[in-house]
Amino acid sequence: MGKSGRTATLCGAAIAASLAMAAAPAMAQQPIKVGLLEDVSGDIALMGKPKLNGSQLAAEEINAAGGIMGRKIELIHLDPQMDNARYQEFARRLLQRDKVDVLIGGITSASREAIRPIVNRTDVPYFYTNQYEGGVCDASTISIGAVPEQQFSTLIPWMTETFGKKVYTIAADYNFGQISAEWTRDLMKKLGGQVVGEEFIPLGVSQFGQTIQNIQRANPDWIMTLNVGASQDSFFEQAAAAKLSIPMGSSIKVMLGFEHKRFPPPALAKMHATANWFEEIDTPAATDFKKRWRAKFPNEAYINDMGYNAYTALFMYKTLVEKAKSTKKADLRKVIATGEACIDAPEGKICIDPKSQHTSHHMRLIGVNPDHSVRVIKDFGLIKPYWLGEIGCDLTKKDPKEQYTPTSLPKK
Amino acid sequence: MTPMLNVLNGPQTLGNGRFFWTGFVLVLMFALGYPAISDPYDVGNIAYLLLSTLTALGLSLMWGYAGMFSFGQTAFFGVAGYTYGVISINLGASGGLTFLCLLGGVAVAALFAALLGYFLIYGRVSGVFFGIVTFATTLALAAFFGQTAGPEWAIGKARFNGFNGMIGMPPLELPWLDDNIVLEGIALYYFVLCLVLVVYLGLRILVNSRFGNVLVAIREDPLRTELLGYDVRKYQLITFVVGSALAALSGGLYTAWGQFIPPASMGLPAAAMPIIWVAFSGRQDLTATLVGTFLLLLVFQTITVYSQQYALILMGFLLLITVLLVPSGFVIGVGRLLGRLGRGVTS
Amino acid sequence: MFAEIFSIAFQFADVFAFLILAAAGLAIIFGMMGIINMAHGEFITCGIYVTVICVQHGVPLPLAQAIGALSAGLVGIVLERTIIRHLYHRPLDSILATWGISLMVTQGMLIVLGSSWQGIGTPLGSFAVGGYTFSTYRLVLFGAAVGVLIGLYLIYMRTNYGVMARATMQNADMARALGVRTQRMYAISFGLGAALAGLCGALYAPTMTLIPTMGITFIIESFVTVVVGGANVLLGTAPAGILLGVVRTILNAWYGQIAGQIGLLITVIIVIRMLPEGVSGWLSRRGG
């Protein structure tokens, strides 16, 4: 399988090169350097590879269409191998030595936190392209992925209405899982529901016998699955083998880790999730995008939302630069402050919110069928990232450089 | 000059001759002049790589000289990092105070090492079991800090912040006239260079002293050493604390450098790295450890930058080849080869 | 009430099986031979992937699992002949070599085989006790763990190879003087250890996510069990499995998985402090 893929990549590269040469006269200026930090080795290569692919596809398309203000995009990718210290080293390298104009990347929240202090000492903007637990209020950081208010405030009311008011949460025992569980708790309280059990699982745990029995004892109407990483995904196989057949909801399953492609049916049946992107979207714009992606990367196991977000991030950057007529962070932020920083992405039109510098998204509720095909259950339309603004983060006025959570709010 | 060299030289270190010390001075002069001929990024990067050599030197002392195989030096690295964070955030430290915070971090980690060391060494835990216990300690710490994401896990104003790591601590700052110089780039380089120099020379004096001879005796045969009347466990405990304090110094400096310390710095694979560096270099010699660790870090970094997905394969291959071809460690092996060549030329 | 008791027993059996199967191979390679094998997880991964490939090509699961275990064993023997045999007189250097092998194998697999595969699904269905349902396959895992323990006992106590292997591990020079071909003993022992690791992977393959780095999830449990067991594998591994299984099951059930994980590590620290030679050292001393 590797060979044809490599040939295709080579062809792609050759086409890109010839296109670039054809456009050479217009590209006389210095290229715009884009620093990428994506893990393509180790445990989470599963997610890092599509992200790198997304950036490459976007760069190729933008360059073929004349670049950004006539300047070509040059991607400089380094692989931090999931190591936070490498993230720090390489962020410095890209910023200080390669002098990139923009930094994009990071998978885990820990890697983002590792590089934020470094980016903050420069005038380079940083794009974080993952869905995450939300709450980063930092003028240097522009978040492209979906955040809890977009995913949970859509998913949880629907799950409660459809399946019932008793939920059992299993979550990875770290920031993402704990904060997402906090969101679930808060929303269930508002909806008059009940969290009948909550279980935090250390990263890397792969055995779930006890968890499955705890769930059966608590007998919930549905399960919120916020388990993270390949090891913890084994939960689905083990739960299915033990005939635990309870509806599930999640903010990260299907669209991100494509568990429905990795486990044989019906392990993921009855899974529900809200997402701004999943490969099964079939609007004309999405279909066209998927066709371009598959043409360049025919062996992609699944075009996941992280890869898609990485793709849109570069187009968002292009729009910002062209509106600002500058690559400086301060100038780009002036454009964001107008609220006009929008692009037509494959999911629909999306914009950056001036207060939080997070992105609005077109959210859809999806369900996994017994044969692991995916159906769209509900279309929520465009949902803004409102939470940070509500709790008092306003980056147009003040830059606290903090990450807030529902239990750790800014001081009034 | 000669009496000073006498305390530095001895049977426990390779490189005692005039040839070696001439080379040493040349390397040192090059290192001092390096910022003048290089760009600021590279200087800062070299400073960062040098931070880790302190951990390696500490482990060389413990493992190479005293035969104590610690697989958990990252525990002290992490404890010092978190302590630096807790103290400096709560004091709102800046200027010279940051150095006191660093010392505080090292002191707390050294105390922890003393407790753990007492527990193990006086419990007669040795050999590979010593490695396993220290390994379990660092993993348990990593697991503990990994689940401290909630706001209840804080000391004063400093939140542990779980797996994402503690952030918000200040960098080291040197008070200078009326102002504070942030220690990064060239300033940090000179600071770390001095530190490494002092630690290296200090450890040379230590291992070539009576104390060092006893350590090596313990490594070779603890029972016989004890029968000769030495309190073996006291020597081991002191060594363990000194070695761990050096790991702690690395950890505190790393935290101040990146203004960040995550639990992953105490987990796997981080915990294995000091072992890899020291074993690769040749653990039974300080110079070899210093040079080898630095080279290995530089090579690994360069490989990772230029070879993308193939980096880990090349790194694994490098380690494997070293073990098979140069059993005594890369630097010791190369050093012996050079020594043989040198003798060949003079005779 | 019965359902509750059965549930606790079942969970204990499940944890016990995981500890024993993960540790069996390492017990020989690390426990008996003294090689700190950082590539233990990769032998497990080897068993997993070979099993899955066989199943994908229509081989029935039990046969596929046997092939998985055997291939890991073969890989082990090849590795022993080419690399490990140079390291017997300096066991600590084996960390460096096996770590290197581990890096090369996982990353090589990632590049060649891709970052994930579709799983093969757990066979045998489920059964119900009271309000709980359980996966039947989990009982197979427990049975296999017990089988491995009995098998090891028989191999090392009742066969010619077993006697010679134990003699070699205790005193290689003396064994050689008595005509034992020690080189071969080392190779077979290492191969057996690798095959048991492969068996562990093969058995767990249907129940887990398939990624090249998955072997690492077994690593900590395996080292912990072997160390608590002590140098005498035959005497130590089973009691270690029981002790750690009880600790983990109780902590998991009442305080959650994080307590189970940290508890496991603390148990190791305490056991080593109290019984520096592990459970087996303690048992054999009591036995005289």
- Within 10 Å of residue A113's Cβ, how many Cβ atoms? 24
The domain made up of A2-145+281-361+384-403 has a fold known as Rossmann fold (3.40.50)
DSSP H helical segments within A191-258, as ranges? 209-218, 229-241
CB pairs A-C closer than 8 Å: 123
pLDDT average, residue stretch C158-162:
87
Q: What is the rounded CA–CA span in Å between residue B190 and residue B174?
A: 12
Contact (CB, 8 A) for A87 and A42: no
Q: What is the rounded CA–CA span in Å between residue B230 and residue B216?
A: 12
Contact B163 A200 (CB under 8 A): no
Q: What is the rounded CA–CA span in Å between residue B171 and residue B148?
A: 23
Residue B54 has pLDDT above 60, yes or no: yes
Comparing alpha-carbon positions, the chain C residue that sits nearest to A50 is: C115
Report how far Cα A344 is from the mean position of its chain's Cα atoms.
18
Average pLDDT, chain B: 88
Contact (CB, 8 A) for A158 and A365: yes
Whether the upstream peptide bond of residue B269 has omega within 30° of 0, thus cis, is yes
E strands, C45-178, are 126-129, 132-135
Contact B128 C87 (CB under 8 A): no
Q: What is the rounded CA–CA span in Å between residue A409 and residue C230?
A: 51
Residue C31 has pLDDT above 90, yes or no: no
- Residues on chain C touching A46 (C-beta within 8 angstroms): 115-116, 211
DSSP H helical segments within A32-138, as ranges? 45-64, 84-92, 109-119
Whether the upstream peptide bond of residue A117 has omega within 30° of 0, thus cis, is no
pLDDT average, residue stretch B21-43:
91
- pLDDT band for C103, please (50, 70, 90 cuts): confident
Q: Which of C80, C219, C272 to mutate to test the interface with B (most CBs of B within 10 A)?
A: C272
Maximum average pLDDT range among A374-378, B323-327, C30-34: A374-378
DSSP H helical segments within C114-229, as ranges? 137-158, 160-170, 172-177, 182-204, 216-229
- pLDDT band for B4, please (50, 70, 90 cuts): low
Going by their DSSP bridges, the two strands A342-345 and A348-351 should be labelled as antiparallel
Comparing alpha-carbon positions, the chain C residue that sits nearest to B70 is: C92
Contact C103 B133 (CB under 8 A): no
A211 has which bridge partners?
A: none
- pLDDT band for A4, please (50, 70, 90 cuts): very low
Min Cα distance B287 → chain A (Å) is 25
The token duo for C261 is 């994980």
pLDDT average, residue stretch B81-92:
94
Domain that holds residue C37: 2-210
Tell me, what's the ipTM?
Answer: 0.85
Q: What is the rounded CA–CA span in Å between residue B161 and residue B153?
A: 7
Contact A202 B143 (CB under 8 A): yes
Residue A222: phi and psi, rounded to 5, are: -155, 165
| pLDDT digit string, tens, across residues A327-348 | 999 999 999 999 999 999 999 8
The token duo for B113 is 């090492």
Comparing alpha-carbon positions, the chain C residue that sits nearest to B317 is: C100
- pLDDT band for B3, please (50, 70, 90 cuts): low
Of the candidates B165, C55, B258, which has an alpha carbon nearest to the alpha carbon of residue A264?
Answer: C55
Unique residue bearing structure tokens 């399946």? A163
- pLDDT band for B342, please (50, 70, 90 cuts): low
Residue B324 has pLDDT above 70, yes or no: yes
Q: Which of A41, A77, A132, A200 to mutate to test the interface with B (most CBs of B within 10 A)?
A: A41
How many Cα atoms are found within 13 Å in the side-chain-facing hemisphere of B341? 6
Contact B132 C227 (CB under 8 A): yes
Of the candidates A170, A171, A179, which has an alpha carbon nearest to the alpha carbon of residue A214?
Answer: A170
Min Cα distance B283 → chain A (Å) is 24
Average pLDDT, chain A: 88
- Within 10 Å of residue A282's Cβ, how many Cβ atoms? 9
Q: What is the rounded CA–CA span in Å between residue C191 and residue C185?
A: 10
Going by their DSSP bridges, the two strands B179-182 and B173-176 should be labelled as antiparallel
Does the residue C225 lie in any domain? no
Unique residue bearing structure tokens 């090849």? C78
Task: Count the domains in chain C.
Answer: 1
Residue A18 has pLDDT above 60, yes or no: no
Q: Which of C124, C213, C254 to mutate to test the interface with A (most CBs of A within 10 A)?
A: C213
The domain made up of A149-250 has a fold known as Rossmann fold (3.40.50)
CATH 3.40.50.2300 residue ranges for chain A:
2-145+281-361+384-403, 149-250
| pLDDT digit string, tens, across residues A254-302 | 998 888 988 888 889 899 999 999 999 989 999 999 999 999 999 888 9
- Residues on chain B touching A93 (C-beta within 8 angstroms): 41, 45, 305
The token duo for B282 is 């040749």
pLDDT average, residue stretch C128-135:
85
- Within 10 Å of residue B142's Cβ, how many Cβ atoms? 25
Q: Which residues contact B171 (CB under 8 A, 6 or more apart)?
A: B98, B182, B183, B184, B256, B257, B259
Q: How far is CA C134 from CA A213, A238, C19, in A?
A: 8, 9, 19
DSSP H helical segments within A325-367, as ranges? 329-337
- Residues on chain A touching B149 (C-beta within 8 angstroms): 174-175, 178-179
Q: What is the rounded CA–CA span in Å between residue B136 and residue C119?
A: 32
Contact A93 B41 (CB under 8 A): yes
Contact A90 B165 (CB under 8 A): no
- Residues on chain C touching B147 (C-beta within 8 angstroms): 258
Min Cα distance A98 → chain B (Å) is 10
State which amino acid sits at residue A69.
Answer: M
- Residues on chain B touching C86 (C-beta within 8 angstroms): 323-324
The token duo for B18 is 């005039």
Does the residue C286 lie in any domain? no
Of the candidates C223, A116, A226, which has an alpha carbon nearest to the alpha carbon of residue B268?
Answer: C223
Q: Which of C268, C274, C280, C282 to mutate to test the interface with B (most CBs of B within 10 A)?
A: C268
Contact A242 C261 (CB under 8 A): no
State which amino acid sits at residue A238.
Answer: Q
Contact (CB, 8 A) for B96 and B177: no
- DSSP label at A68? B
- Residues on chain C touching A267 (C-beta within 8 angstroms): 119, 121
Does the residue C195 lie in any domain? yes
Chains contacting chain A through 3 or more C-beta pairs under 8 A? B, C
Comparing alpha-carbon positions, the chain A residue that sits nearest to B305 is: A78
Residue A212 has pLDDT above 80, yes or no: yes
Torsion of CA B155, B157, B161, B164, to 10 degrees: -130
Min Cα distance B47 → chain C (Å) is 26
Comparing alpha-carbon positions, the chain C residue that sits nearest to B139 is: C265
Contact C119 A237 (CB under 8 A): yes
Residue C239, class by beta-carbon neighbours within 10 Å (0-12 exposed, 13-18 middle, 19+ buried)?
middle
pLDDT at residue B343, rounded to an integer: 66
Residue A170 has pLDDT above 70, yes or no: yes
pLDDT at residue B146, rounded to an integer: 86
- Residues on chain A touching C112 (C-beta within 8 angstroms): 2
Comparing alpha-carbon positions, the chain A residue that sits nearest to C219 is: A204
Give, in degrees to the nearest 5, the angle at Cα B291 between B183 and B44.
Answer: 20
- Residues on chain B touching A174 (C-beta within 8 angstroms): 146-147, 149, 162-164
Average pLDDT, chain C: 86
Min Cα distance B306 → chain A (Å) is 8
DSSP H helical segments within B122-231, as ranges? 127-146, 185-207, 210-220, 222-227
Measured in Å, how far apart are chain C's first and last C-alpha atoms? Answer: 43
Q: What is the rounded CA–CA span in Å between residue A175 and residue B263?
A: 12
Q: Which of A119, A120, A137, A203 to mutate to test the interface with B (most CBs of B within 10 A)?
A: A203
Q: What is the rounded CA–CA span in Å between residue A358 and residue A393?
A: 11
Q: What is the rounded CA–CA span in Å between residue A375 and residue C76?
A: 47
CB pairs A-B closer than 8 Å: 99
Min Cα distance B327 → chain C (Å) is 8
- Within 10 Å of residue B14's Cβ, how many Cβ atoms? 18
Percent of chain B residues past pLDDT 90, beyond the cut? 49
The token duo for B160 is 């542990």
Q: What is the rounded CA–CA span in Å between residue A304 and residue A257?
A: 7
Does the residue C271 lie in any domain? no
pLDDT average, residue stretch B63-76:
92
Min Cα distance B69 → chain A (Å) is 25
Comparing alpha-carbon positions, the chain A residue that sits nearest to B167 is: A113
Comparing alpha-carbon positions, the chain C residue that sits nearest to B274 is: C96
**Is the CB of residue A96 less than 8 Å away from at least one CB of chain C?**
no
Does the residue C103 lie in any domain? yes
Chains contacting chain B through 3 or more C-beta pairs under 8 A? A, C
Q: What is the rounded CA–CA span in Å between residue B339 and residue B337?
A: 5
| pLDDT digit string, tens, across residues B155-204 | 988 889 888 889 889 999 888 777 778 888 888 999 999 999 999 999 99
Residue B94, class by beta-carbon neighbours within 10 Å (0-12 exposed, 13-18 middle, 19+ buried)?
middle
- DSSP label at B148? -
Min Cα distance A107 → chain C (Å) is 16
Residue B317 has pLDDT above 70, yes or no: yes
| pLDDT digit string, tens, across residues A108-121 | 888 998 899 999 98
- Residues on chain B touching A203 (C-beta within 8 angstroms): 146, 163
pLDDT average, residue stretch C250-268:
84
Classify the C-alpha dihedral B255-B259-B262-B268 as positive or negative: negative
Min Cα distance A201 → chain C (Å) is 6
